[in-house]
Amino acid sequence: SNVTVGFVGLGHMGGPMAANLAKAGYQVLGFDLVPAALEQAAKDGITVVSSSDDAAKADVVITMLPSGKHVLDLYSGGLLAAAKPGTLFIDSSTIDVADAKAANELAVAAGHRAVDAPVSGGVAGAAAGTLAFMVGGEAEDFEAAKPLLDVMGAKIVHCGGAGVGQAAKICNNMILGVSMIAVSEAFVLGEKLGLTNQAMFDVVSNASGQCWSLTSYCPVPGPVPASPANKDYQPGFATALMHKDLGLAANALRANGVDGLLGLQAEEIYKRFKDETGGGLDFSAIVTDIRKRSGE
């Protein structure tokens, strides 16, 4: 392809995503603040450049950064000004809905086009090119972004206008966090009542309590052999990342006056667990914390 892609943020997710674009034949101009990330990128066929502004000289600029502050600092700190008029900016970081809208407004005001395109699927999905992208922005900008997203992902959904991709991401992860706590509380209650984990699984996985947190990612070892519970809760999806996403959901609940008691409580429960453990365990390890606090 003749389309050049700037890629800023070559970390756990951005590194393999950029590598897949290079593998697909795009010229990728990559930048990160961490030298080790640049060394790996060079091995993956990415053209390493010496600043984010240099990466912004491409036709499309993708950012994959830790937080909304990083995105807004870059957008307002010269990245937009360094780009050719009409450049398409794709931000795939998971950030506040309000920050995503602000980033979009900055890009449009600078004469560019922008979509928010957060992902799910984790590092494994990034490496395999099977991420799910949830996209917010104008329809024509979504169409322009889609060929690149198809290289990095398997399921690409246009969710609505600016910020609405981020909305889909935090709504999904709020359901995930709340449902994992609910499933974990039920396992611990079952244990107290003499119900084995396997018997509870056999009943609930075929009953109305069925959900992904139970049947695909079971927080106790045994019923779902591939779940992190069977590997000492190695992530998977780390507690710190779940807590980050629940914080974004809590911000949005408050900012929009939603009576989201469970979402707000889930953020506090994961904050406590993160503070106790450092946040490196898979988020399904919350069951071990509930068990401990229940005196088992």
Using CB under 6 A as the binding rule, whether residue 34 contacts ligand NAD is answered as yes
Residue 192 C-beta-side C-alpha neighbours within 13 Å: 13
Using CB under 6 A as the binding rule, whether residue 78 contacts ligand NAD is answered as no
Strands 60-63 and 47-48: unpaired
- What is the 3 state secondary structure string of the chain? CCCEEEEECCCCCHHHHHHHHHHCCCEEEEECCCHHHHHHHHHCCCEECCCHHHHCCCCEEEECCCCHHHHHHHHHHHHHHHCCCCCEEEECCCCCHHHHHHHHHHHHHCCCEEEECCEECHHHHHHHCCEEEEEECCHHHHHHHHHHHHHHEEEEEEEECCCHHHHHHHHHHHHHHHHHHHHHHHHHHHHHHCCCHHHHHHHHCCCCCCCHHHHCCCCCCCCCCCCHHHHCCCCCCEHHHHHHHHHHHHHHHHHCCCCCHHHHHHHHHHHHHHHHHCCCCEHHHHHHHHHHHCCC
- Please, what is the minimum distance in Å from the beta carbon of residue 70 to ligand NAD? 5
Using CB under 6 A as the binding rule, whether residue 20 contacts ligand NAD is answered as no
- Please, what is the minimum distance in Å from the beta carbon of residue 222 to ligand NAD? 25
- Please, what is the minimum distance in Å from the beta carbon of residue 184 to ligand NAD? 21
Using CB under 6 A as the binding rule, whether residue 8 contacts ligand NAD is answered as yes
Distances (CA, A) of 275 to 61, 79, 164: 35, 35, 30
Question: Considering beta carbons, is residue 22 or 290 the nearer one to ligand NAD?
Answer: 22
Using CB under 6 A as the binding rule, whether residue 17 contacts ligand NAD is answered as no
Query: Using CB under 6 A, which of 65, 114, 188, 249 touches ligand NAD?
Result: 65
Using CB under 6 A as the binding rule, whether residue 122 contacts ligand NAD is answered as yes
Q: Which residue in the shown chain puts its C-beta closest to ligand NAD?
A: 11
Using CB under 6 A as the binding rule, whether residue 44 contacts ligand NAD is answered as no
Total site size for ligand NAD, rule CB under 6 A: 26
Using CB under 6 A as the binding rule, whether residue 167 contacts ligand NAD is answered as no
Query: Using CB under 6 A, which of 25, 66, 111, 225 touches ligand NAD?
Result: 66
Considering only the stretches 19-27, 116-124, 154-162, 270-278, report the one whose residues sit in contact with ligand NAD under the rule CB under 6 A.
116-124
Query: Using CB under 6 A, which of 5, 6, 7, 13 touches ligand NAD?
Result: 13
Catalytic site residues?
A: 169
Question: Considering beta carbons, is residue 11 or 160 the nearer one to ligand NAD?
Answer: 11
Query: Using CB under 6 A, which of 61, 74, 180, 285 touches ligand NAD?
Result: 74
Residues binding ligand NAD (CB under 6 A)? 8-14, 31-34, 37, 52, 64-66, 70, 74, 93-94, 119-120, 122-123, 241, 244
